[in-house]
Amino acid sequence: MIRAGHEAVTMHRRHRISADVLKAAVSPAAYYADHLPTMPPPRRGGWVPGGLCPFHNDHNHGNFRVNLDSGGYTCFACGARGGDILAFHRAHFGTSFPDTVQELAERYLTRVGGVSDET
């Protein structure tokens, strides 16, 4: 009878947050502002310049782009690409999927009340 209860229960256990909940709570704009120091301040959503690519020895702005709606990223020079901030984080830091979810949850979900920091 009760089918929808599982998600709510897992959310309350510290280390068992789902990737979907995490992605809904962490804005790609906030994440990339933290992780891409060379990214110019975005003026809109969608695909925007991401600054220098962190996946190769990049010297030219313009190759690396991030999507502030989906969290996706792509580099026209080295071919690095992914569909969301979890993919970026895993590729950048070499962490496993569960570790990535946990790391980002611990870093961002404690300040969920302040997710409106949009620069």
Instruction: Provide the binding-site residues for Zn ion, judged by CB under 5 A.
Output: 53, 55-56, 75, 77-78, 80
Q: Which is nearer to Zn ion, 17 or 80 (CB)?
A: 80
Residue 1 DSSP label: -
Q: Which is nearer to Zn ion, 56 or 69 (CB)?
A: 56
User: How many helices (H) does the chain have, and how many strands (E)?
Assistant: 5, 4
Q: Which is nearer to Zn ion, 21 or 91 (CB)?
A: 91
Min CB(53)–Zn ion separation in Å: 3
First CA to last CA distance, the chain: 45
Q: How much of the chain is helix, strand and coil, in % rounded to 5? A: 40, 10, 50
Min CB(72)–Zn ion separation in Å: 14
φ/ψ of 70, rounded to 5, equals: -95, -20
Q: Which is nearer to Zn ion, 29 or 75 (CB)?
A: 75
Min CB(9)–Zn ion separation in Å: 41
Min CB(64)–Zn ion separation in Å: 6
Q: How many CB atoms lie within 10 A of CB 38?
A: 13
